[in-house]
Amino acid sequence: MFKDFVRGIKTYSGVFELMNTLGLWKYFIVPMIISLITAIVIGFSAYGFSDNVGEYIAKVWVWDWGSETFRSISDIIGGITIIALGLILYKHIVMALSAPFMSPVSEKIEAHLIGVNPNYRKTSFGAQLWRGIRINMRNLSRELLFSIPIFILGFFPVVGLIAPVILFFMQAYYAGFGNMDYTLERRLNYSESIKFVGRRKGLAMGNGAVFMAMLFIPVIGFIVVLPLSVTAASIQTIKVLHPQLKQ
């Protein structure tokens, strides 16, 4: 698993060159717009609702002494909570809506790597969109189910130190999952795709770790994250599907 994780990260090293060689940037125009708009909406939501969430959290403190300090801390916690949940929603919204635009990217990469046009099933724009929505709704529900208790544990001493790390890698896994499915969609059905990624968690986490790290780069990160991560995930997934290719 660790080797796959490292491999998932190292694949990013050649994505710029490949994207320029194959002229892939034009396929990412709409997804980049979707990504930026989604990020802006989530950012304003975090700014606007942090006080409301903070006010709700502040009710836990029933004493008069230190109430103003705790309220200030509560506002910060509220903002962090919304941003954390926003990042979860962000990646699944963007990945689901971008699914139909990512298929041509993966097809071109596969044809380039194996030297011939690959043999795969053809799917429509609507089918690709529905597949993306279905996969990401499934992953979103699971991620929220696991994230909320881990986030709560983050407020406890000692355990709270590792909670952010667990959350990061869990988000990384589901981000990589979504990126890999753009290639798997042409070859595997819904259930088969889930099993495929489940057997290659390291690749998904490696790809998703860079994806999540790029989101910490203001503005630019949200614009380039999908082109780079999808290209990297496509390369590595295609290499797994075609064992004759050098890893």
pLDDT, tens only, 205-220: 999 999 999 988 888 8
Predicted local confidence at residue 97, as pLDDT: 92
| Residue 23 backbone class (left: φ over 0; alpha: ψ -120 to 50; beta: rest) | left
Predicted local confidence at residue 201, as pLDDT: 95
Distance CA 224, CA 124 (A): 26
208 contacts 177 by C-beta, under 8 angstroms: yes
Q: Return the C-alpha torsion angle 96, 97, 98, 100, nearest 10.
A: 90
User: What is the DSSP track for 33-80?
Assistant: HHHHHHHHHHHHHHHHHHHHHHHHHHTT---STTHHHHHHHHHHHHHH
Q: Return the domain boundaries, the chain.
A: 2-240
Predicted local confidence at residue 117, as pLDDT: 67
Candidates 234, 11, 224; CA nearest to 105 is 234
Distance CA 236, CA 183 (A): 10
pLDDT, tens only, 47-68: 777 666 666 666 666 666 666 7
For 82-108, what is the mean pLDDT? 88
Predicted local confidence at residue 151, as pLDDT: 77
pLDDT > 80? residue 236? yes
Q: What is the pTM of this model?
A: 0.87
Candidates 203, 174, 148; CA nearest to 92 is 174
pLDDT, tens only, 1-14: 889 999 999 999 98
Confidence of residue 71 (pLDDT cuts 50, 70, 90): low
Average pLDDT over the chain, rounded to whole? Answer: 85
Predicted local confidence at residue 78, as pLDDT: 72
